[in-house]
């Protein structure tokens, strides 16, 4: 095992743990919320544009893959306490997102209990697999994914407001967006640490993540109605232009990576796994 591999570097592990503890302590003080008590459930809007409910359903589907996300990424980080504890905490917070989106669909009357039960079965018939097989690749993927998800929820909240509003859903999307921004922030802090250790390895791991990025497939979890999918796309919550402007370019700017580096050849050997 290479001496620079972060699992064997006490200084790196200490720094990762301190970042996680700061994240956890801040969450306990400022960011924790309760699904049952902190949403104005009596202010759901059953007349909201059905396309909005379709988008909420697709996001709920993505969140339902949580068991796959956590069970498959934890083995890559098991020997790193800071990363492993964060993934566990991340799983808890993401589970709340799944619950609260599901509850809004039911309480608003846009979906029935039977429909959501069938949807859950449909999701669990499929298996999500890691898009990258090493820990650094998954850290860079998670960093990009969390920021893209933040952009999704932020834009959806704006569309809800433009479509007549739903105080319950707007509160939900605000809380989730804050969580996603916090997750992205910690993943970015992790990546910044690894950049100091081996910048070339980080750029190499970032290249396929950004150049081949896709949100988890959601349209095929819906019915096959082209009209329904078109209505979702017409909301312009996330598309190639938004990705390039708000995710791709943003990532290059905050990490100090150039477009030329993103086009560059891959290194033959990485010092960080």
pLDDT tens-digit series, residues 94-133 = 999 999 999 999 999 999 999 999 999 988 888 888 888 8
**What pLDDT is attached to residue 176?**
98
- Mean pLDDT score of the chain: 89
Structure tokens at 266: 């891959």
Calculate the CA 146 to chain-centre distance. Answer: 3
Where do the DSSP E strands lie in the chain? Answer: none
**Structure-token pair, residue 116:** 């959501």
Question: Is the pLDDT confidence value at 56 over 60?
Answer: yes
CA distance 78 to 39: 35
What is the spatial distance between Cα 146 and Cα 122, in angstroms, rounded to a whole number? 24
pTM greater than 0.85: yes
Comparing CA positions, the residue from 177, 178, 144 lying closest to residue 27 is 178
Neighbour count for residue 219 (Cβ, 10 Å)? 14
Per-residue pLDDT tens over the stretch 139-161: 999 999 999 999 999 999 999 99
Region of poorest pLDDT, from 96-100, 234-238, 249-253 = 234-238
């Amino acid at each position: 095992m290479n001496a620079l591999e972060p699992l064997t570097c006490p200084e790196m592990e200490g720094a990762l743990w301190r970042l996680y503890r700061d994240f956890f302590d801040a969450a306990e003080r400022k960011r924790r919320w309760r699904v049952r008590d902190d949403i104005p459930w009596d202010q759901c809007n059953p007349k909201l544009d059905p396309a909005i409910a379709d988008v909420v359903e697709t996001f709920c589907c993505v969140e339902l893959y949580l068991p796959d996300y956590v069970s498959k990424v934890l083995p890559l980080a098991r020997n790193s306490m800071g990363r492993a504890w964060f993934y566990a905490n991340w799983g808890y917070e993401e589970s709340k997102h799944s619950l609260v989106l599901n509850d809004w669909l039911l309480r608003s009357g846009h979906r029935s209990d039977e429909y959501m039960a069938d949807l859950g079965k449909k999701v669990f018939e499929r298996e999500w697999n890691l898009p990258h097989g090493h820990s650094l690749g998954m850290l860079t993927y998670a960093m990009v994914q969390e920021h893209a998800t933040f952009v999704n929820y932020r834009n959806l909240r704006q569309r809800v407001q433009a479509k007549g509003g739903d105080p319950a859903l707007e509160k939900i999307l605000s809380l989730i967006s804050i969580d996603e921004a916090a997750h992205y922030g910690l993943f970015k802090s992790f990546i910044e640490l690894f950049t100091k250790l081996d910048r070339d390895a980080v750029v190499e791991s970032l290249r396929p993540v950004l150049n081949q990025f896709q949100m988890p497939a959601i349209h095929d979890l819906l019915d096959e109605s082209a009209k329904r999918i078109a209505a979702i796309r017409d909301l312009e919550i996330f598309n190639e232009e938004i990705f390039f402007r708000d995710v791709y370019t943003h990532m290059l700017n905050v990490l100090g990576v150039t477009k030329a580096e993103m086009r560059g050849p891959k290194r033959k050997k990485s010092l960080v796994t």
